[in-house]
Structure 1
Amino acid sequence: MKRRAHKLTLLIVVWGTIAIAGFGSAVWQLWNLLMPTLFHLPAIGFWQAVGLMALSWLLFGGWRGAGGLRNDGRHARRHMLTDEERDHLRASMARDGR
């Protein structure tokens, strides 16, 4: 069991390193291709690109999908409505012009 855990840990570290290197390289290349030409910004190095990528993940929500949108429960609550409540909600939204 311990050996399997070590293999899994090694696999996660290897894939994580490959992912960071791949995404960091993509950000680096795209930045240096586009930003100096479009916005007259300086070219950046690989580690600056990795830092920029990490900062953008922190600011914009990481791997949550759909641009970092969070499921705040509205979707689940809408399915729990009765037919009468749903009709009332639709009517009030139609009145408000939504």
Structure 2
Amino acid sequence: MLHRFKVLKFIILVVGGIAALSWVVMMLWNWLIPALFVGARSIDFLQAVGLLVLSKILFGGFRGHHGGWHRHGGHHWQHQRWEKLTPEEREKFQHGLFGRRKHRDEVHVKNNGQA
């Protein structure tokens, strides 16, 4: 019984969060877009929900929070990639990375009249 209550509570929180975020999107859209763009019109609540879904598809993907990023401590995939590099590739990468930074710092000092 306690498990069902937790699931129900979670569902209510998710639906409430989506509704609140959709309301904020709708209010911001209706405040900004018609004023900024000639011919733009206001949107209703369901269109705001659709806009959120569209933005999630275009910019967020469908990974969710249970993907490898959180489970493996953030930069796990970068560590795996680094481990696959040969020592020569690692040195070349580090030289290129730090070489660009050194060049950028030299240009910054030169442009500020110091040196």
Q: TM-score, normalised by structure 1?
A: 0.69
Q: Alignment partner for residue 80 of structure 2, among 77, 82, 88?
A: 77
Query: Which residue of structure 2 aligns with residue 55 of structure 1?
Result: 54
Q: CA deviation at 1:55?
A: 1.2
Give the letter for the 1:39 counterpart: F
Deviation at 1:48, TM superposition (A): 0.7
Are the structure 2 counterparts of residues 72 and 35 from structure 1 closer, same or farther at C-alpha, using a change threshold of 3 Å? farther
The alpha carbon displacement at 1:77 in A equals: 3.2
Which residue identity does 1:11 align to in structure 2? Answer: K
Partner of 2:32: 34
Deviation of 1:78 (Å)? 5.2
- For structure 2, the residue ranges without an aligned partner over 5 or more in a row are 64-68, 70-74, 104-115
Residue 58 of structure 1 and its aligned partner are, at CA, apart by 1.5
Give, in whole Å, the separation in 1 of the partners of 2:7 and 2:46.
24
Label 1:88 to 1:62 Cα distance change in 2 as closer, same or farther (>3 A).
Answer: closer
Separation in structure 1 between the aligned mates of residue 24 and residue 62 of structure 2, nearest angstrom: 17
Larger Rg: 2
User: Which residue of 1 is the match for residue 93 of structure 2?
Assistant: 89
Kindly state the Cα deviation for residue 35 of structure 1 after the two structures are TM-superposed.
Answer: 0.5
Task: Work out the percentage of aligned pairs sharing the same amino acid.
Answer: 36
Give the number of the structure with larger relative contact order, counting CA–CA contacts within 8 Å between residues 6 or more apart. Answer: 1
How many residues of Structure 1 are paired with residues of Structure 2 in the alignment? 89
Matched residue type, 2:90: R
Matches of 2:96 and 2:61 in 1, distance apart? 36
**CA distance, structure 1, for counterparts of residue 19 and residue 48 of structure 2:** 10
Task: Report the Cα distance in structure 2 between the residues aligned to 1:11 and 1:19, rounded to whole angstroms.
Answer: 12
Cα offset, 1:53, TM superposition? 0.7
Q: CA deviation at 1:88?
A: 2.6
- TM-score, normalising length from structure 2? 0.60
